[in-house]
Structure 1
Amino acid sequence: MKISERTGVSAELGTALVKQQEKLFELWHRVRDGTLSRGDFGELVQEIRSSINATLLEESRIPDYSTGKNTQAQKQFALVGNYALFESAIWLFVTCEGVEPTNNAAERAIRPAVIWRRTSFGSQTAAGSAFVARMLTVVTTLKSQKRNVLEFMTQAVVAARGCKTAPSLLPEDSTCSDDSELLKAA
């Protein structure tokens, strides 16, 4: 965490945040390997979340952050502000099964698109770019839901030719216990 790389009070607060992050991921790994229930995880995370919130609040009160004297300080002040805006979304993985605390799945999901762009030199028109973006979204979404891409595309073409409603990319069942929180965060 960049805050821990600063000097003085910021470094101390950053180090405290890193320790909380380590505790959080230790618990998360236990949930993934089945040695900690999600319910117990949720209870234990509350202490970590409170500590992180308190540390970030303290970080935002450090002099020079609001004065604009230091570009790095301004970035960290913005980080604290952004955290406050998206806090409920950041912690959604605690209550919503299937949501990960990292973006590793998203990084893996876009990798084929990045490789395609590098090997094909992209598309040459706006319409081509829009088509590729939509197709990559459809394929990635269907693969993440373990649905058959060819079957879905066939249904979509048949529906379009028959002026019928296209099949949905949304999963049939949601594993998130509180979709309202997700909508609020978006």
Structure 2
Amino acid sequence: MADVTGDLWRAVTGRAGGRAPENVRDAVDRLEQAGASKKDLAQFKKDLAAALGVTVRQVQRMTTRTGSETRSDKRHAGRIREFVQKDSRVRAAAGSQRRKSRMRNKGAKLKIKGRQGPKVGKSWPTRDRLVELDLDPYEMEALLDAWENGDDDTALETLQDALEDEGYPPNWSWEDGAAVEFLGLSYD
């Protein structure tokens, strides 16, 4: 499972969240769309500057739309991407709050479609499969809390525990390109 962050991001946020932000401009735009105050935005930029070891003014330049300020953005691209994708404020602003609330209160159906299978030593016998299981509200709350705090490993462990409870091996994993989704539960 190479892109856990991207898979979980798309699964939790759904279509409204799209993909994870790649740079400072994307993160600031999402925070602004979510209604973050100027004080919150300033604190976000201050925290990012501290994480990168640059000045707040340099981070401010990274948010501008002109091409000449992208030099610093490119130099710190990997650390910026990691920071904005793990930041709890950006994750809380991503996707629909209504969707997250529904998943916390009612649970969700996990659907993984694509090449997947158990890892056994160095062997990984994958094939096209469809995994569907219902996650109760407690599992979804634990998963969402871990994800919003930027802890993808704990969120993935929660997902693995749910798969194990349904009889899947403890080392179940999927390849890049597999569609991981949380769908609403249908009560027939």
User: What is the TM-score normalised by the length of structure 2?
Assistant: 0.27
Bigger proportion of residues as helix: 1
* Structure with the larger RCO, 1 or 2 (CA within 8 Å, 6+ apart): 2
- TM superposition score normalised by structure 1: 0.27
Which has the higher Rg, Structure 1 or Structure 2?
1
